Chain A
Amino acid sequence: KQEVTQIPAALSVPEGENLVLNCSFTDSAIYNLQWFRQDPGKGLTSLLLIQSSQREQTSGRLNASLDKSSGRSTLYIAASQPGDSATYLCAVRTDSNYQLIWGAGTKLIIKP
């Protein structure tokens, strides 16, 4: 059974720092992995999707990597800003069906 873990549960860093959020999964047979952000009281915004055949995806200051063999993905945020404060979730789609398996999220706070 696929399980997705995000550590740490919360992270607070000063503005301007580069940071890495972690996502690990137990079964390497994934179809793709998606990173989302969720602002308080809001919906989920898709940030990046990495197919199983890809190693990384980039969008602006965000870079997501995928290492299937080790069951890990990282989301790198460069030059963090207070507007980056949100909860970041990763979700894995398994080969067997369309269901996304979700991590519990990392709550990120960027201090001005």
Chain B
Amino acid sequence: DAGVIQSPRHEVTEMGQEVTLRCKPISGHDYLFWYRQTMMRGLELLIYFNNNVPIDDSGMPEDRFSAKMPNASFSTLKIQPSEPRDSAVYFCASSDRQFSGEQFFGPGTRLTVL
């Protein structure tokens, strides 16, 4: 298995632009998580899905952030409009069983908003 795939790996954009991050979970995994990592706040869970349905989005910082999972093999995290304070590394992770819960992470997308 190729593991969790994220794209792009790096994104540099200007304030106010729309940013879309993409994730392909491990085949067969029914949980998908979006995290953000910064030096100041460490790892933060933004949202997670079960069987393509958003379960908990309480970590989404603002209405500027939205996430979708149209099918079992694809998810997007969108920021519109982006701001410099959104600069961070965004990780996607997936998991196959609720009661095991081992999470496997993608390589991350490093976002820089100028």
Interface, chain A (partner B; CB < 8 A): 31-32, 34, 36, 41-46, 49, 51, 89, 91, 93, 97-100, 102, 104-105
- CB distance B98 to A44 under 8 Å? no
B91→A98 contact, CB < 8 A: no
B residues in contact (CB < 8 Å) with A: 4, 31, 42-43, 45, 48, 55-56, 91, 93, 98, 100-108, 110
Count chain A CB atoms within 10 A of each CB in B42, B98, B101 and give the residue with the most: B101
The CA of A34 and the CA of B108, in the complex, are separated in Å by 19
15 additional A-B pairs beyond A43-B91, A46-B102, beta carbons within 8 Å, are A32-B101, A34-B102, A34-B103, A41-B110, A43-B105, A44-B91, A44-B93, A44-B105, A46-B104, A91-B43, A97-B56, A98-B48, A98-B55, A99-B45, A104-B42
- Smallest CB separation, A49 vs chain B (Å): 4
Provide the residues of chain A in CB contact with B105, threshold 8 Å. Answer: 36, 43-46
Q: Is the CB of B43 within 8 A of A102?
A: yes
List 20 interface pairs A-B (beta carbons < 8 Å), by A numbering.
A31-B101, A32-B101, A34-B101, A36-B105, A43-B4, A43-B105, A43-B106, A43-B107, A44-B91, A46-B105, A49-B101, A49-B102, A51-B100, A97-B56, A98-B31, A99-B45, A99-B48, A100-B103, A102-B43, A104-B42
